[in-house]
Structure 1
Amino acid sequence: MRSSPASGPGYNVRAVERAMELLSALAGGDPALGVTELAERLGLHKSTVHRLLVTLEGGGFVEQDQVSGRYRLGLKLFELGAVVGARQELRCEALPYMRDLSAKSGHTVHLVLLSGYDPIYVEKVENPHSVVSYSQIGKKLPLHATAAGKVLLAHLPPADQEEVLRGPLAAYTPNTITDPAVLREHLARIVKQGYALDNEELELGLRCVAAPIRGARGHVVASLSLSGLSATLTPERLPGLTAAARETALAISHRLGYSEALSLLRQG
């Protein structure tokens, strides 16, 4: 799952580029196309197109009509598109609750999803009294050094969690947890207590609290975080802010179909 830092034209794989061009051609409006037609449109040899189609068919990305022999897009793409759609639905469902939490708490609120092992800000509601300048939508953040990241890390499958713990675990401040054994225990407490704290672990002067958002099946699909300056997000205020973040995350989870959210909300 770990994402690679390599990117750019120098790392492009030509076969993958051709496969993407082929899928785009099949999505161009014609219900189905044959090998010859695809080869002409892409400027490729028919044998190359055929190999690509056989490979993509094996993964469910294209399907061949058994009567005409032509190819069309496969249901695997519908499955992947549904995942993207679900993420967009999550943002739409979460945003009103995020605005409410920001207004009531006086702090900035983030919605964070995982891409590989990279937590990414996908939504942000700034509060004029607590602007967090380091965050922006689309920006990656450390998995082990932020409250939102630690919530997601704590709920990863054991094998994936251990891969992250093998490091390297960069130190961003003196408070960053970089000892795998200490972090492992810390993550277990996060699962038990239902929230995570970032005590100036990414940037001195900033604190954060985060809670998990669960999907219909109960698995963690995102994290909701509340961030602010340490001078305002004080230890005295943390219990109330933590409770507010957890309640908001549960309310969003309920909107996503998590059946146990209501009973947990009633328990306080």
Structure 2
Amino acid sequence: MSTSKQSGNNWKVGSVGKALAILNSFDIGHSEQSLAQISAKIGVPKSTTYNLVKTLLGEGFLRKSEVSQNYLLGLKPFEMGYCVRNSLPIISYAIPIMEDITRLTGEITYLSTVNRDRLIILEGIYPDRRFAAYSTAGKTLPLHCCSAGKMILSTFPDSLALAITEGSMVQSTPNTICTQDGLLAELEKIRANGYSVDNEEETLGVRCASVAVRGGGCRAVGAISISGSVRSVTDEKIMRTLPHLEKAAQFLSRMASAFPAVYFDGAY
């Protein structure tokens, strides 16, 4: 059994890490990959990669396309996702509140949390049933370009916010904040206002507003948000909705320990 040789990481099991690297190599832009692609991406010889892939196939974590003979994520992660969701009681507590906000605003309401250097959406409530088929629960986003992510970053010291976003401030739209100075100015504005706005920074045509759900020490464990079109989510609507978002956030903050927030290594 091989272990990592890196200083301070001697507890890591190398073979497990490689298997997890294979699973992590799949994302929205790479949902189907060949053995050669997987091998190159994780930096492991094809022979070793093949043995790991065969093991993951046998356990249901991967599946093989009969048409292309490439590999895709299997149904086991899908099954585990259901188990994860059902292990998060905060979602059940939040849904009635989120439904009220959606009825009030006519906009999508999101509940999200932080997973190291990413925002992860826990649940979304949609005003139109047609959109329910496009649930974004489980979707992750960079923290710097969405209102909930910026809201969470604003509860951290500037030095930590910069460490979390270092090297990851990609430009999603022409409005995305991509510089450290720009991010620090935005976080200062959010702290002063008590809420965060995404002005087409993650997706063109979409505007969002968020407030923080705070845990111990005022650090955010998550955020609650409304999201809609730039025509619909006006400044006036945001100001009308803020008291409802703040009330919801205060209620959810009482159950902060139920949020599955995972902080960046430097957060402690």
- TM > 0.5: yes
The two structures have a TM-score, normalised by structure 1, of 0.60
* Structural mapping, 1:191-210, within 5 Å: 191-210=191-210
C-alpha distance after superposition, 1:120-172 (max 9, x if no partner)? 11111111199599761111112111101111222235443122343342222
Where does structure 2 lack aligned partners over 5 or more consecutive residues? 1-20, 27-37, 49-83, 258-268
Matched residue, 2:152: 152
User: 1:221 aligns to what SS in structure 2?
Assistant: strand
Is 1:190 matched with 2:190?
yes
Kept after mapping to 1: 8 A contact 2:173/2:204: yes
* Structural mapping, 1:63-142, within 5 Å: 88-128=88-128, 131=131, 136-142=136-142
Where does structure 1 lack aligned partners over 5 or more consecutive residues? 15-83, 258-268
2-side partners of 1:200 and 1:158: how far apart? 23
Kept after mapping to 2: 8 A contact 1:209/1:245: no
1-side partners of 2:242 and 2:104: how far apart? 13
1-side partners of 2:243 and 2:149: how far apart? 19
2-side partners of 1:150 and 1:107: how far apart? 20
User: 1:171 aligns to what SS in structure 2?
Assistant: coil
CA change 1:179–1:256 in 2 (3 A) is closer
Please state how far the C-alpha of 1:12 moved relative to its aligned partner: 10
Kept after mapping to 2: 8 A contact 1:206/1:230: yes
Kept after mapping to 2: 8 A contact 1:106/1:129: no
Aligned residues: 189
CA change 1:135–1:205 in 2 (3 A) is farther
Please state how far the C-alpha of 1:199 moved relative to its aligned partner: 0.9
Please state how far the C-alpha of 1:89 moved relative to its aligned partner: 2.9
Is 1:180 matched with 2:198?
no
CA change 1:184–1:139 in 2 (3 A) is same
1-side partners of 2:238 and 2:99: how far apart? 19
C-alpha distance after superposition, 1:2-40 (max 9, x if no partner)? xx89537754999xxxxxxxxxxxxxxxxxxxxxxxxxx
CA change 1:118–1:228 in 2 (3 A) is same
C-alpha distance after superposition, 1:209-262 (max 9, x if no partner)? 0000023554311011110111111223221123322222122223548xxxxx
Please state how far the C-alpha of 1:190 moved relative to its aligned partner: 1.3
CA change 1:198–1:95 in 2 (3 A) is same
The residue type paired with residue 171 of structure 2 is: A
Please state how far the C-alpha of 1:183 moved relative to its aligned partner: 1.1
CA change 1:121–1:168 in 2 (3 A) is closer
The residue type paired with residue 239 of structure 1 is: M
1-side partners of 2:193 and 2:102: how far apart? 22
